[in-house]
A and B are shown apart, each in its own frame.
Chain A
């Protein structure tokens, strides 16, 4: 008895200790720096702090013909996002990069990593701190670039580009430069010559589709349903689509395949309640949820759920759909084209002959908008020690194939080999030892890319299909200021997070009632007020956009 008591006591003690050791006392969730204003005067800060020019015996060989003085050796830093590789490969590659840079522009490049742990706070702080940053990765749709530009974090590049980055300056067309301006100042160099498609869709197996008599590529939900039914009828122990109930892809699917709505850069959590009416009416706010077709779609999804196209407990299921797809345990997965490009190759290995296909939601109606050209890009810091040299370095790493390949792929023979014009991994390559990346997302360019054997060779056809229907991204310079409707936005996010997944996966009872309940809740949460505010700001944006 005494023994048991002591043991219980010890167990309780341990439990409490665990809870103490695990409870952070320091909930110092610093509000993001974006609410603060540092009085950053965008003065080109060429302070004459003469750091000793280390070894400037190498007079840059191109300084003669451009009239640019590169006699002083400079270290150019470049802010990138990601966890710094720690296996020593980065240093080895940078040694090679810097040898070339020293010879060409008498400078060296150093990456400054903003790690993923709380990166938003850190990135904004770094920009607000007034530290001398030379090159900075930006993205108008995810790094609050316009906000940072307004706060004076970046140096206007108008007069510098032609002189210091001539190749890039002429390569980028005028309309793209216009998209990179704050008022009249060019604030960033867009990554506009790099193809990446992040439009979503559902992947399915071509071999199975053929087996069920689906001979044409799937381009709509109805045919996809046939495919799932085929799996249900012919494949025992295979869940047609073993999806997680947290996946919002069906909402995107409905919006793209059933309506002409296009996404606005306004996030409301699990799914974006607000969209624009169509590309033609891109300044009119709309919502797929309030579209009559949404009820039909909800009915269809209920039908799918009842037929068992995904598992019964889909809303709580947390398994890895992609792993199951590769193991042949499910017949579908969903993500975007960029992922498909690599997954197709993996699947050809894991399930030979599976002929993985992608039903892009845009296939149904041709409703497809390109990525913003300023999703990636590079700015120069307002306090850069030598903006000119920074741009020279940028021009080189973007334009010079040798440097480009080093920075993006690593060293030939270690990280990659080229066979018949395609990049492959050398036989001795070990990802842990030899893995390398720089997360250079600020100036990749198609002309310098070497296709890899991990990318599906047929992806070009898909790109060509997209090129026929794509519309330019219209909201590159539109930033929604949600300060006046912040509580409503939060409430809306909560409502869609709670209600929408069950409707999309047909687990919300009677679809009509469920959709009506969702709409009522959205209205109660302030749907109309937020809608009016967005419309007001879109009208103002329209005036500047067309003015």
Chain B
């Protein structure tokens, strides 16, 4: 490790140029792979229905038409309602879940907490063995009586063993001496946690918060199990699933816009609904992504 490092400018070094070129090309292609399906959805949603039937989906509308959007926006309250439900569950779930996970993770690594290993074991154990679907269903539906209640979607996602382990290993990197010195100064455990530990764990919180939030945003399975058709508004992903698999929503939409059903642009309308449902997220994401990247990199290095 004592050898002289000869610094070459990056430009003159063929290998690294090649590596960079390859890296850019690879990431570029990968991003394209992510982007193309989206463009397909977007392009199809602006295409005249008869063209889709004839030629299939397309990136660029052969014959431009905004008819599908007209119908979607005739009856926007279902989409808006689903949005509100999903955003509400995501916000509440992420805040509460993050707080609980952080608290658990921190407590489980405190050296002066005697039962920490036993309790940790209980939590790890669930990652290996689970009761399965039926007991879970019975618990939520029969014992907790949460059928047709948004809590049935909110509660199961609050804490996951994986995130607790992640948080635990991160808070391990905060010296225990800080906790001890604060104790000597007369701070209670809760004060220590909120005033000292949480600010220092900010990167981990960002990372874990992202995971929880994405989990809630994409949540549809529990919603499918526990929220029945009798509910008017259900989470966005479940709503979308319904749009893509059933003509029900489409019927309702065409009813409010007085379009006879045979003229309803089924395929382009599915796509338009998907665009309306995901569009805002995509626009919103670039503005907050730097926090995520920060959090994930720090979390990866430290965690």
Residues of A within 8 A of B (CB): 10-26, 28, 30-31, 33, 36, 38, 83-87, 112-113, 115-118, 121-122, 125, 128-131, 318-320, 323, 430-433, 435
The reply to whether B214 and A25 contact each other, CB–CB distance below 8 Å, is yes
- By a CB distance below 8 angstroms, the chain A residues around B254 are 432
Pick the contact of A26 from B28, B215, B251, B252 — CB < 8 Å? B215
CB of B83 to closest CB in A, whole Å: 13
A318 vs B93: C-alpha distance in the bound complex, in angstroms?
42
Pick the contact of B229 from A36, A83, A121, A431 — CB < 8 Å? A83
The reply to whether B134 and A36 contact each other, CB–CB distance below 8 Å, is yes
The stretch that binds A, out of B32-40, B112-120, B165-173, B194-202, is B32-40
The reply to whether A10 and B286 contact each other, CB–CB distance below 8 Å, is yes
A115 vs B137: C-alpha distance in the bound complex, in angstroms?
17
A25 vs B208: C-alpha distance in the bound complex, in angstroms?
13
Which of B32, B221, B254 gathers the greatest number of chain A CB atoms within 10 Å? Answer: B221
A430 vs B132: C-alpha distance in the bound complex, in angstroms?
46
The reply to whether B137 and A125 contact each other, CB–CB distance below 8 Å, is yes
Whether a CB of chain A sits under 8 angstroms from the CB of B4 is no
The reply to whether B225 and A122 contact each other, CB–CB distance below 8 Å, is yes
A33-B137, A87-B255, A121-B225 provided; 4 other pairs, C-beta below 8 A?
A15-B38, A31-B132, A85-B248, A86-B252
Closest to B34 in A: A19
CB of B82 to closest CB in A, whole Å: 14
Using a Cβ–Cβ cut-off of 8 Å, how many residues does chain B contribute to the interface with A? 51
Q: With A14-B35, A17-B286, A18-B34 in contact, is A125–B133 under 8 Å at CB?
A: yes
A112 vs B148: C-alpha distance in the bound complex, in angstroms?
13
The reply to whether B282 and A14 contact each other, CB–CB distance below 8 Å, is yes
Closest to B256 in A: A432
Could you name 18 residue pairs across A and B whose Cβ atoms are closer than 8 Å? A13-B289, A15-B35, A17-B286, A17-B289, A18-B34, A24-B220, A25-B211, A30-B221, A83-B242, A87-B255, A113-B228, A115-B228, A125-B133, A128-B134, A319-B53, A432-B251, A432-B254, A433-B255
The reply to whether B142 and A115 contact each other, CB–CB distance below 8 Å, is no
Residues of B189-241 at the interface with A, using a CB-CB cut-off of 8 Å, are 211, 214-215, 217-222, 224-225, 228-230, 237-238, 241
The reply to whether A15 and B219 contact each other, CB–CB distance below 8 Å, is no
Residues of B within 8 A of A (CB): 27-28, 31-32, 34-35, 37-38, 53-54, 56, 132-134, 137-138, 141-142, 211, 214-215, 217-222, 224-225, 228-230, 237-238, 241-242, 245-246, 248, 251-252, 254-255, 260-261, 278, 281-282, 285-286, 289
Closest to B228 in A: A113
CB of A353 to closest CB in B, whole Å: 22
CB of B85 to closest CB in A, whole Å: 16
The reply to whether B282 and A431 contact each other, CB–CB distance below 8 Å, is no
Pick the contact of B134 from A38, A118, A319 — CB < 8 Å? A38
Closest to B138 in A: A129
Closest to A8 in B: B28
- By a CB distance below 8 angstroms, the chain B residues around A12 are 27-28, 31
CB of A416 to closest CB in B, whole Å: 17
A121 vs B255: C-alpha distance in the bound complex, in angstroms?
32
A524 vs B289: C-alpha distance in the bound complex, in angstroms?
51
- By a CB distance below 8 angstroms, the chain B residues around A86 are 248, 252
CB of B292 to closest CB in A, whole Å: 9
A130 vs B141: C-alpha distance in the bound complex, in angstroms?
10
Pick the contact of B242 from A20, A117, A129, A130 — CB < 8 Å? A117
The reply to whether B53 and A13 contact each other, CB–CB distance below 8 Å, is no
- By a CB distance below 8 angstroms, the chain B residues around A10 are 286
CB of B274 to closest CB in A, whole Å: 10
The 5 residue pairs across chains A and B that have the minimum distance between CB atoms: A432-B255, A17-B285, A30-B133, A15-B35, A19-B34
Pick the contact of B221 from A28, A38, A112, A113 — CB < 8 Å? A28
- By a CB distance below 8 angstroms, the chain A residues around B248 are 83, 85-86
CB of A520 to closest CB in B, whole Å: 35
A23 vs B242: C-alpha distance in the bound complex, in angstroms?
18
CB of A425 to closest CB in B, whole Å: 12
A194 vs B38: C-alpha distance in the bound complex, in angstroms?
47
- By a CB distance below 8 angstroms, the chain A residues around B53 are 319-320, 323
The reply to whether B141 and A121 contact each other, CB–CB distance below 8 Å, is no
A129 vs B134: C-alpha distance in the bound complex, in angstroms?
7
Pick the contact of A15 from B31, B137, B141 — CB < 8 Å? B31
CB of B52 to closest CB in A, whole Å: 10
The reply to whether A115 and B134 contact each other, CB–CB distance below 8 Å, is no
The reply to whether B142 and A129 contact each other, CB–CB distance below 8 Å, is yes
The reply to whether A21 and B246 contact each other, CB–CB distance below 8 Å, is no
Pick the contact of B278 from A21, A118, A128, A432 — CB < 8 Å? A21
- By a CB distance below 8 angstroms, the chain B residues around A129 are 134, 137-138, 141-142
Closest to B57 in A: A318
CB of B163 to closest CB in A, whole Å: 11
A84 vs B141: C-alpha distance in the bound complex, in angstroms?
21
A122 vs B37: C-alpha distance in the bound complex, in angstroms?
30
Pick the contact of A432 from B56, B218, B252 — CB < 8 Å? B252
CB of A432 to closest CB in B, whole Å: 3
The reply to whether B229 and A84 contact each other, CB–CB distance below 8 Å, is yes
The reply to whether B285 and A13 contact each other, CB–CB distance below 8 Å, is yes
- By a CB distance below 8 angstroms, the chain A residues around B237 are 24
- By a CB distance below 8 angstroms, the chain B residues around A84 are 229-230
Pick the contact of B251 from A22, A23, A25, A431 — CB < 8 Å? A431
The reply to whether B138 and A20 contact each other, CB–CB distance below 8 Å, is no
Which of A23, A125, A320 gathers the greatest number of chain B CB atoms within 10 Å? Answer: A125
A30 vs B219: C-alpha distance in the bound complex, in angstroms?
14
The reply to whether A15 and B225 contact each other, CB–CB distance below 8 Å, is no
Q: With A15-B38, A125-B137, A430-B260 in contact, is A21–B245 under 8 Å at CB?
A: no
Closest to B248 in A: A83
Q: With A15-B32, A16-B31 in contact, is A21–B281 under 8 Å at CB?
A: yes
- By a CB distance below 8 angstroms, the chain B residues around A125 are 133-134, 137, 225
